Structure 1
Amino acid sequence: MNSEQGLRGAYWIETAPGGEPAPPPSGGLTVDVAVVGGGMAGLSTAWELARRGREVAVLEAGRIAGGVTGHTTAKLSALHTLVYDHLRRTRGREGARLYAHSQSAAIRRAAELVDELGIECEWEEAAACTYAENPEHVAPLRAEAEAARDAGLPAEFVTGTDLPYPVAGAVRVTGQAQFHPVKYLRALADDLRRRGGAMYEGTRVTGLTEGEPCALTTDTGAEVRAREVVVATHYPVFDRALLFTRLSPRRELVVAGTLDADRAPRDMYITPEQNTRSVRSAPYADGKRLLIVTGEHFTPGAPGGADVEERFARLTAWADSRFPGLTPTHRWATQDNDSTDSVPLVGPLYPGSRHTYVATGFGGWGLSGGIMAGLLIADLAEGREPEWAALYDPRRLGSVVREGMSFLKHQAHVARHFVGDRLPPVTAPAPEDLAPGDGAVLRVGGHRCAVHRDDSGQLHAVSARCTHLGCLVAFNRAEQAWECPCHGSRFAPDGRILQGPAVRPLEQREIQST
């Protein structure tokens, strides 16, 4: 396999086209519940509430399932790398059990809906495995197998897998699943409409006033009033509880290619070794399967993130060496948010909140996490509290104390950018130094500008300050995007928002082309 240009983008989006986008609301709108975000968490929540008789509207800035959900590797598993031994130490045996119980409930819920609604989404049952090639890393796997089994999962430690290369050991949990997430969500959206739910795409929510009812403003000028609001935008675009202090963005790369079906692994794999390597396969045409390999995680916009092309090359070389004969077809990238205590934040948006909810911090496991969030928020909105509600409650404080080092490390990273971004650089390139397709933060007329030279040689400039909280952006040449290292907002070269939490584009700046 190689990383030559011309490979197609996200496979799930390519193979489940959405047709004409649902238009934004034409005027004022009043509903029982407004769900902001049309990914797995948002649509799962909207569907659960509509099934319970609520009048629901989904407001999506782009296309339904076109964001993080459309760029996932699509594993539906309760085995989240090495989470159970960690939870057993930080949240106790009961915390680990509740995590396993809630994530398993999400998998069962998805299986029920696939059957009930007749969803054609390439559903396959598979085992999930966390493995290590280095014998020195076996001890944590044995501890994880014991902790996961103690939490109620059918976990075992094994030394044999269906990977075409040897491993030193693995945690294996059966009864998990892999599927086509965009086909699943588009079917869920269709059923939501049949139940009276409304879908609005190309509608970015820019403001929230909580009250009775709550009021949402949008970039289209429409105002939406709702008794309750769910913020399911991956990274919260409204954050009165300062959740951004407890979330760190992480970007990962994905390469995919075809293999003969009899050579492709049927189970799902992940290893924390080598800056993470995740492997699964999916049905493909002509007796082939699509091998999907993920890894090379980094903080968007941070030093070291600029060499994304090199990271793609490393991931591609790894796939080549482990799966000889892989024919390249696709490559893309995904972004996740890790909470400081390794548990998602799902529940009331802030202390004292009565009408607003949030779902975020899924740490790379947003499919099971998003479905779980739908079940949890739907119950909370009806005055019921599942036994695992407290585990995920965003208002929890004890976990922040327990995970103090992770919290402080994240805050130190952000603080370095807030302070360091305001110091003059030792050296700075000039606009004429930029090659076609490249970008850099330069001083133009005494101001920091994010300057990009397009393939025709024209220079374009926007403000270099992220519109979320003002950190300086950096350029990702491989993906042609400006990225914020503090909270993960991403912008197109012309300043348009690609990914929040920012809700305003980067402002245009004047610059002379050379």
Structure 2
Amino acid sequence: MTQLPDTYESYWMETGTGPEYPALTGDLDVDVAVIGAGVAGISTAWELGRAGARVALLEADRLAAGVTGHTTAKLSAQHGLLYARLRKSFGAEGARQYAQSQQEAVDAVEQVATELGIDCELERVPAFVYMESADAVDQLRAEAEAAREAGLTASVVSDTDLPYPVAGAVRAEHQAQFHPRKYLLALVADLVGRGGVVHERTRIVSLDEGEPCRLTTEGGAQIVARDVVVATHYPVFDRALMFSRLEPHRELVVAGILPADQDPHGMYLTQERNTRSVRTAPYGEGERLLIVTGEKFKPGVGDVSERHERLAAWTEERFPDVRITHRWAAQDNTTTDGVPFVGPFHPGSRHVYVAAGFGGWGMSSGVMSGRLLCALITGGEPPWASLYDPRRLHPREAPSLLKVQGSVLKHFVGDRLRSSHVDTVDDIPPGAGALVRVGGRKCAVYRDESGATQAVSARCTHLGCLVLFNDAERAWECPCHGSRFAVDGSVLQGPAVRPLEPRPLPEGDESD
């Protein structure tokens, strides 16, 4: 049986350290407030700071420590089997605009890293989308044709440097991989040098879209800004109703040391076997770090430990000499039409903008978002602005939208019809969590290894769906919109901004 590391720790978080920035305790008055300091938020703040704006970058936790700190860090304009679908949904021009905006973002990272002297381990490598089934080769040919028409240098190949055979692959040239935190933390340092203000541990809980806009922090501080960018991965404010057009999903990651002579020299992705993504990174003399992602699932589905073991077993089967040293998980959201939402927050917005729905391709899309939002805020409008505009609606979006809402309704209603996930608190084993009806209402109860229990409300503070327990990461997750909470109820990931309320457990017989 595969031996996985006991702890969940991202390699990027372990090796990409930086200074801490203070929580905001007083009021601020700036040109632009950027909420969320992942790749999109940091890129936007840096672009605006370089353009001369007075910028405040506000993060509820630590910089680049959420989704961005747990990514695979592929920097690519090849986003799976996407371009054939884009051409069908948005036309040849829409596909071309997508490819151009994404490839320019890839190239911009190299340019900025060179300009600022950032050692972020950036490597130019090809990207591959491959299939092991011969039945899929025609699909690969159609994708390569659409990608070429969109402007990428793409071809169909039958040979790769993977240590196992493939039926075929779409190869895209001029892509890249890098260390995301080393790059982004250097951008933050440059932003501060330009006069930007950065605050960690500063959760924004309210937004007044006036002229100027006003933000309020969890601690009561006020921020006045002409413009606001919401770059919180999943928008923390619901006035745009994006929760009906975004579907959250999680993916697992394992990483380990591989002899350098076994490096497959590229970034690889297949949608087979519930997704498998492969890349390497610099590690040590004669070694590379192999990074494998897959086992896509919706938050709250359970059996995460089993999924991680399955991913690790696949990795060791395909790369027998790897020694697994890390494991972690990432979360992202996919829009109902497959293109990110970047632009004005909603039809009535004049000074509030959003970046969300990167569909697992946050590195290039986050950098693209920073360039696009900076242009919109400073009076420009790139040719692809309408492609990403969150106010768009397409007829082809309807089936996906109905599917997303059907899934939400299933959890919102169906989870309440279950009498309980366990009958009593005593049924919960050490190191596990479950929903239990206590005093007539459902509670989310966790029991630690010592036997002590901790109970919180089972209702997500976003829109009220019931949370479920992630057994591997020991967290409560909302299956509707992806909010995540620690076992004590504190918010790990939005859209929720308020913690799960604590619930008392009666002594003795703890449940009814």
Fold-level match, TM-score > 0.5? Answer: yes
**Contact 2:411/2:466 (8 A) holds in 1:** yes
Structure 2 match to 1:14:
14
TM-score (norm 2): 0.98
Structure 2 match to 1:274:
273
Rounded to whole Å, the distance in 1 between the matches of 2:501 and 2:233 is: 24
**Contact 1:459/1:513 (8 A) holds in 2:** no
Residue 86 of structure 1 deviates from its aligned partner by: 0.4
Structure 2 match to 1:444:
438
What is the 5 A alignment of 1:423-462? 423-425=417-419, 428-462=422-456
Residue 16 of structure 1 deviates from its aligned partner by: 1.1
**Contact 1:474/1:482 (8 A) holds in 2:** yes
**Contact 2:56/2:197 (8 A) holds in 1:** yes
**Contact 1:41/1:374 (8 A) holds in 2:** yes
Structure 2 match to 1:68:
67
Alpha-carbon spacing, 1:427–1:244, altered in 2? closer, same or farther (3 Å): closer
Structure 1 match to 2:311:
315
Structure 2 match to 1:341:
337
What is the 5 A alignment of 1:93-492? 93-301=92-300, 305-397=301-393, 399=394, 401-425=395-419, 428-492=422-486
Residue 4 of structure 1 deviates from its aligned partner by: 3.0
Amino acid at match of 1:370: G
Residue 15 of structure 1 deviates from its aligned partner by: 0.1
Give per-residue Cα distances to partners, 1:418-469, cap 9 Å, x unaligned: 2113324276331101111100011000011000001111011000000000
Residue-pair matches, total: 508
Residue 131 of structure 1 deviates from its aligned partner by: 0.2
Alpha-carbon spacing, 1:55–1:427, altered in 2? closer, same or farther (3 Å): closer
Amino acid at match of 1:17: T
Structure 2: any 5+ residue segments left out of the alignment?
none
**Contact 2:4/2:312 (8 A) holds in 1:** no
Rounded to whole Å, the distance in 1 between the matches of 2:67 and 2:241 is: 22
**Identity score, percent:** 62
Residue 5 of structure 1 deviates from its aligned partner by: 4.0
Give per-residue Cα distances to partners, 1:179-229, cap 9 Å, x unaligned: 000000000000000111011000011100011110101112211110000
- The SS at the match of 2:331 is strand
Residue 31 of structure 1 deviates from its aligned partner by: 0.3
Rounded to whole Å, the distance in 2 between the matches of 1:36 and 1:197 is: 14
RMSD: 1.1
- The SS at the match of 2:314 is helix
Give per-residue Cα distances to partners, 1:46-89, cap 9 Å, x unaligned: 01111111000000011111010100000000000011000011
Rounded to whole Å, the distance in 1 between the matches of 2:507 and 2:439 is: 14
Rounded to whole Å, the distance in 2 between the matches of 1:148 and 1:239 is: 35
Amino acid at match of 2:270: T
**Contact 1:459/1:512 (8 A) holds in 2:** no
- The SS at the match of 1:498 is strand
**Contact 1:337/1:361 (8 A) holds in 2:** yes
Structure 1: any 5+ residue segments left out of the alignment?
none
Rounded to whole Å, the distance in 2 between the matches of 1:164 and 1:7 is: 29
Give per-residue Cα distances to partners, 1:327-361, cap 9 Å, x unaligned: 01000000010000000000000002100000000
Rounded to whole Å, the distance in 2 between the matches of 1:457 and 1:372 is: 48
**Contact 2:5/2:324 (8 A) holds in 1:** no
Rounded to whole Å, the distance in 2 between the matches of 1:121 and 1:2 is: 31
Rounded to whole Å, the distance in 1 between the matches of 2:180 and 2:422 is: 43
Amino acid at match of 1:307: D
